[in-house]
């Protein structure tokens, strides 16, 4: 192996899968580290980078199209592009440094020349809500309906960001080597299964 | 394990995967056997059963809806329903008899009460064409374009049949536990991987 990328629906356990898989394979794991590194290189705050990355970029020409016909007018859009450029650079450095598992960040697309093994993780809404509840945190007081809306909101942003950066459809099976439904399968079992491919 | 169902795009290697997996797990494998058994029980020819099953059933009320508002008018539609009923019965008998791998036949839906492990196999068009060519047979003289049309035609029928019988969307990841892209992964590797889950 060299690079495994994990895209995931919110609450599907994709991050846990990534961490455990990297541990099992004895390789690097990148997730929040990427945001931290972008922030450090761009002198923007982590919070701001996170916000730009998790929201739909402001109306501007899609990043994945090489040339721009319209001059970028908004400050927000130019920040988006600056952050995306750093993101690409950092991901490439990570992929070249060592074997690694990368969660999110359109890494499946950005690192396509490295032939990553591309995983998409998903689950039924009920299971995702249960997983979010089990993690606890500040969402404890939300009703199921509110939590569902939150999950759908995060995934909508992810889909928009992916579409904006890659021109492709987030979650479309064609963009992945393996799509895993974590509704009925334990993450531990999935880790054993995937690790088997890289033995 | 008890039942593994495999749905697959034409030319994606799903049947090979099913056979090898059953061999590896030492369990029964059903595919064409189901058609043979339906033919035998309904006193229809195998060829006729195959034709009914592989084409979109004639305009009639979808089978998955329990009650019929309109009387079934066409002979073809009543044959479709008769065959589907036998198909359900045979699949249930197979699932109850022993552990097995079943390819096609909406088994993922029909056997849902048996909690099957549901796999969907797919690949890029280029890879599917190459796989069809490698298998040879009578299609050797087809151009790539003709072969693509043939592949799309078979899959369109499968999708329609699945929709008609189950009310669900064929190939929609939500209906499966694992979706596997065989474009870049060897079938043998996938067999090793999946078998690991059932050890």
In terms of Cα–Cα distance, which of A25, A190, A169 is closest to A123? A190
CB A194 within 8 A of CB B193: yes
How far away is chain A from the Cα of B16, in angstroms, using its nearest Cα?
18
Q: Look at residue A65 in the predicted model and tell me its pLDDT.
A: 52
Q: Which residue of A has its CA nearest to B186?
A: A197
Q: Kindly state the tokens that stand for A48.
A: 């701001």
d(CA B62, CA A190) in angstroms, rounded, equals: 36
Q: Kindly state the tokens that stand for A132.
A: 């979010």
Tell me, what's the ipTM? 0.86
Whether residues B197 and A194 touch (CB distance < 8 A) is answered with no
Q: Look at residue B37 in the predicted model and tell me its pLDDT.
A: 87
The two beta strands, A178-181 and B178-181, are: antiparallel
pTM of the model: 0.88
Of the candidates B122, B177, B184, the beta carbon closest to that of A185 is on B177
CB A164 within 8 A of CB B164: no
CB B196 within 8 A of CB A193: yes
Q: pLDDT tens, B62-91?
A: 555 554 545 545 777 777 888 888 889 999
In terms of Cα–Cα distance, which of A94, A92, A113 is closest to A33? A94
- B177 touches A: beta carbon within 8 Å: yes
In terms of Cα–Cα distance, which of B116, B128, B109, B89 is closest to B170? B109
How far away is chain A from the Cα of B185, in angstroms, using its nearest Cα?
8
Q: Which residue of B has its CA nearest to A118?
A: B181
Q: Look at residue B59 in the predicted model and tell me its pLDDT.
A: 46
* Best B180, B182, B195 residue to mutate vs chain A (most A CBs within 10 Å): B180
Q: Kindly state the tokens that stand for B193.
A: 């991987």
Collapse the DSSP code of A47 into the 3-class scheme (helix H, G, I; strand E, B; otherwise coil) and give the result: helix
**DSSP state letters, chain B:** --EEEEEE-TTSSHHHHHHHHHHHHT-EEESHHHHHHHHHHHT--HHHHHHHHHSPPPSS--TTSSS-SS----HHHHHHHHHHHHHHHHHHHHHHHS-EEEESTTHHHHTGGG--EEEEEE--HHHHHHHHHHH-GGGGG--HHHHHHHHHHHHHHHHHHHHHHHSS-TT-GGG-SEEEE-SSS-HHHHHHHHHHHT-
Contacting residues of B for A197, CB less than 8 Å apart: 185, 189, 192-193
- A170 touches B: beta carbon within 8 Å: no
Q: Look at residue B56 in the predicted model and tell me its pLDDT.
A: 56
Q: Look at residue A48 in the predicted model and tell me its pLDDT.
A: 85
Q: Look at residue A32 in the predicted model and tell me its pLDDT.
A: 85
Whether residues A193 and B189 touch (CB distance < 8 A) is answered with no
Give the residue ranges of chain B where pLDDT is below 50: 59-61, 67, 69, 72
CB A64 within 8 A of CB A165: yes
Q: Look at residue B138 in the predicted model and tell me its pLDDT.
A: 61
Q: Look at residue B43 in the predicted model and tell me its pLDDT.
A: 83
- B178 touches A: beta carbon within 8 Å: yes
Residue A180 burial class via C-beta count within 10 angstroms: exposed 0-12, middle 13-18, buried 19 and up:
buried
Whether residues B178 and A179 touch (CB distance < 8 A) is answered with yes
**DSSP state letters, A65-119:** SSS-SS----HHHHHHHHHHHHHHHHHHHHHHHS-EEEESTTHHHHTGGG--EEE
Q: Look at residue B63 in the predicted model and tell me its pLDDT.
A: 55
Q: Where are the beta strands (DSSP E) in chain A?
A: 3-8, 28-30, 100-103, 117-122, 178-181
The two beta strands, B178-181 and B117-122, are: parallel
Q: Look at residue B141 in the predicted model and tell me its pLDDT.
A: 82
Q: Look at residue A41 in the predicted model and tell me its pLDDT.
A: 86
Average pLDDT, consecutive stretches of 10 residues, N- to C-terminus, chain A (199 residues): 92 95 95 87 84 62 51 68 87 93 94 95 96 77 90 92 90 96 95 90
Of the candidates B122, B185, B197, the beta carbon closest to that of A193 is on B197
The two beta strands, B28-30 and B100-103, are: parallel
Which residues, at least 6 apart from B62, have a Cβ–Cβ distance to it below 8 Å?
Answer: B163, B164, B165, B167
Contacting residues of A for B196, CB less than 8 Å apart: 192-193, 196
Q: Look at residue B45 in the predicted model and tell me its pLDDT.
A: 86
B121, B125, B127, B129: CA torsion to nearest 10: 110
């Amino acid at each position: 192996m060299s690079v495994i990328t994990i895209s995931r629906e919110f609450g599907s356990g994709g991050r846990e899968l990534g961490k455990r898989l990297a541990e099992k394979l004895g390789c690097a794991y990148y997730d929040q580290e990427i945001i931290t590194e972008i922030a450090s290189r761009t002198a923007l705050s982590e919070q701001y980078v996170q916000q730009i990355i998790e929201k739909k970029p402001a109306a501007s020409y899609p990043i994945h199209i090489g040339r721009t016909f319209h001059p970028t007018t908004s400050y927000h859009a130019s920040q988006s592009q600056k952050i995306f450029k750093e993101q690409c650079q950092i991901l490439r450095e990570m992929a070249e440094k060592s074997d690694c598992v990368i969660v999110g960040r359109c890494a499946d697309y950005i690192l396509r020349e490295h032939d990553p093994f591309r995983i998409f993780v998903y689950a039924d809404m009920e299971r995702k809500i249960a997983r979010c509840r089990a993690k606890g945190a500040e969402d404890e007081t939300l009703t199921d309906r509110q939590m569902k809306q939150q999950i759908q909101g995060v995934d909508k942003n992810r889909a928009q960001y992916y579409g904006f950066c890659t021109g492709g459809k987030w979650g479309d099976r064609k963009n992945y080597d393996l799509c895993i439904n974590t509704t009925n399968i334990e993450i531990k079992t999935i880790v054993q299964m995937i690790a088997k491919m890289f033995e």
